[in-house]
Amino acid sequence: MRMRYWAGLALLLSVGVAGTGCSGSQTPSGPAARPLPVDAGKDSWYAGQKLSWRPCPQLPAARCATLTVPVDYARPNGARLQLAVEKLPASGKKRGSLVVNPGGPGIPGRETAPALARLAPAVHAHYDIVGFDPRGVGGSSQLHCLNDAAHDAYYATDRAPDSRAGKDRLRQQALALAKACQARAGALLAHMGTAEAARDMDVLRAALSEADLNYAGFSYGTLLGQYYAERYPEHVGRMYLDSVMDPARTLPEIIIDDVVGAQKAYEAFLAHCTKQPGCPLGDDQAAADRRITQLVTRLNSHPLAAKTDPARPVTGSDLRDALVAGLTSEQGRPSLVQALASAERGDVTAVRALADDAHGRARNGVFSGADESFLAVACAFATREQRSDQALDRAVAAATAMSPLFGPIDSFRPCAHWPAASAVTAHPIKTTTGPILLANNTGDPSTPLAWAQSAARNLHGSVLVTHSATSHGFVTLGPCPVRTMSDYLVSGTIPRTRTPCTNAT
């Protein structure tokens, strides 16, 4: 499973940012918040709960708690689930709570609270920043389907097969994974969709004693925010959506769009490197592309052992995954260049590390389970027809025609065998709330600008700002994007221009 389709920003939020310029802004007015109850019947046990905060073991400055929600909202008095919540109290005069989600899906959200506090001190000064692990993720009953050895076997299988035998092997692995999830996940597997996570956020809002939900969502977190705005428009406070998903795009369309974005980012990456003196990939973009493509082919035929882990030879599939992971962030591209240059010389250690990061595998061989949680949410987003073998075959074929390098990666094949029924599926989300601020990079390889534009057209009253960059994450690019987000969340300020930041320092 290549976890870059709906990529998260949890790690990107913790990196340093480069300087950019910023334009002036204006502040809108809006109606005062009205206290409203949680979406539940009067007798629902979870409606009026309060959080019991305690110091967090790994971060004493933060406070941790658990939020209780029903596994199935249609049976509110049935099985219950404990969600892990972390709060970093406001460092100054508090104006409320800000719930954050880093994306994924499948990425724990608790760590986003301290990461965002470091990145945006002005936001931390005015908000208790609250992160939570969505259902089936991290401390909230992490979904684990395969043991670590079976995970290694899955990723040792060619995930971009070009032969019938290779495709059959991949489908057998995908079927085995889906069956393992059915056997080990229990009732939770059918209740990990985005709509249910949005309902969890409303329970969290009420437990925080907030009339409105102030929210910052990144990548997949923007889809979660839109689902919340659709169901609870009267509860929407200040909502910042960064690297925006289009809720109307179906799973096959997402597969194709993502490959197009990866290909564009790859071409921009090669163009930039080959123009630099001493680029290890040479000074000709087409020649550099051929060298990388040939390297993929060689590794598929003759995998190479990494010095750090000779028992798991690096394949062409691993290199493809490493490329996509490295292209996500502009800050990580120098390391990607060196990894490719080393791989050409026979040292695939850095490629191994990048691929393992993309798969959610730690250095000690333990898998986080994020890839399985990712699939549980992604597969629930599609109808049975959209996730069928036939639909996936068509999507992979169309993607391959657009990018022979990235198109063949068949990440979603387990969805064809997924045991849980589809939840709320792709559809336009149309709602009228206060001004929601959307932000997107023009060349984002994971969430294309067209997705943000489509979402903005339907979120009436929203404003979309952009930045000219080919990486994932508007707010990660420098002080100006951070200031744009902070000014909106703290004071409701909307930029005067839709391109508020430049490359000037």
- 481: Cα separation from own chain's centroid: 19
Residues with pLDDT less than 50, the chain: 1-8, 10-20, 23-35, 504-505
* CB hemisphere CA count around 303 (13 angstroms): 19
pLDDT, one tens digit per residue, over 346-392 is 999 999 999 999 898 999 999 999 999 999 999 998 999 999 999 99
Cα–Cα separations (whole angstroms), residue 367 to 111, 188, 313, 370, 423: 18, 20, 18, 8, 26
**92 burial level (CB within 10 Å; 0-12, 13-18, 19+):** exposed
pLDDT at residue number 41 = 57
Q: How far apart are CA 332 and CA 399, in angstroms?
A: 25
Distance CA 164, CA 161 (A): 8
DSSP-assigned states of every residue in 225-272: HHHHHHH-GGGEEEEEEES---TT--HHHHHHHHHHHHHHHHHHHHHH
Domains, the chain: 12-26+56-143+192-249+427-502 (3.40.50.1820), 258-417 (no CATH)
pLDDT, position 226: 97
Between the alpha carbon of residue 175 and those of residues 181, 192, 247, 355, 391, the distances in Å are 10, 20, 27, 22, 16
Q: Is 119 helix (H, G, I), strand (E, B) or coil?
A: helix
Q: What would the two tokens of residue 192 be? A: 């990990």
pLDDT tens digit sequence for 289-346:
999 999 999 999 999 999 999 999 999 999 999 999 888 877 778 999 999 999 999 9
> Who contacts 445 (Cβ-Cβ below 8 Å, separation ≥6)?
258, 261, 262, 264, 265, 324, 327, 328, 470, 471, 472
CB 147 within 8 A of CB 114: no
User: Would you name the residues annotated as active-site residues?
Assistant: 219, 444, 472
Torsion, Cα of 8, 11, 16, 20 (10° steps): 0
Residue 503 confidence (pLDDT): 62
Beta pairing class for 437-441 and 54-55: unpaired
Which residue's entry shows tokens 């990607």?
336
Cis check: omega of the bond before 105, within 30 degrees of 0: yes
Q: Please report the pLDDT score of residue 37 as a whole number.
A: 64
- Please tell me the predicted confidence (pLDDT) of residue 25: 45
Tell me the one-letter amino acid at 184.
Answer: R
Name 97's Cβ contacts closer than 8 Å, sequence gap at least 6. Answer: 87, 127, 128, 129, 130, 208, 210, 214
Query: Do 91 and 124 meet the contact criterion of CB atoms below 8 Å apart?
Result: yes
SS3 state of residue 213: strand
Contacts of 11 (CB under 8 A, 6+ apart): none
Q: What are phi and psi of 400, to 5 degrees?
A: -65, -35
Question: What is the C-alpha separation between 311 and 332, in angstroms, rounded?
Answer: 27
